[in-house]
Amino acid sequence: MQAYYGWSVHSADLLFTAAGVCSLLVFLGVQKLSGVVDDKSFVTISLLIGAMGFSLLPSRLSDPVGKTQFLIAFALVRSSVMRSEIVDKY
């Protein structure tokens, strides 16, 4: 982490703990929305949100990425994947 992003081990641990909490919150939100929104719209929205998340990440590992930017991108990509998993499950 230090070599690629310039983050200390402690910062990376806190960041990935926050990402885990974010995953739980996204799961609960997506689960509630899955009963309200139809599948076709759900998948379309999922693709758009995933594209937004990937666009926030750098194209090369050598490019710096801030912790907040990484956490937002992670949350968007994770919610996109989570939506697909929930739609496929039901």
Inform me whether the pLDDT recorded for 78 exceeds 60.
yes
| 46-71: pLDDT as tens digits | 888 888 888 888 766 666 778 888 88
> How many structural domains are present in the chain?
1
Domain of residue 18: give its range: 2-89
Sequence-separated (6 or more) residues with CB below 8 Å from residue 6 = 64
Of 19, 5, 34, 14, nearest in space to 75 by CA: 19
Cα 42 from chain centroid (whole Å): 16
Of 88, 89, 71, nearest in space to 26 by CA: 71
Q: What pLDDT is attached to residue 40?
A: 82
| 1-38: pLDDT as tens digits | 676 667 788 888 888 898 888 888 888 887 787 778 88
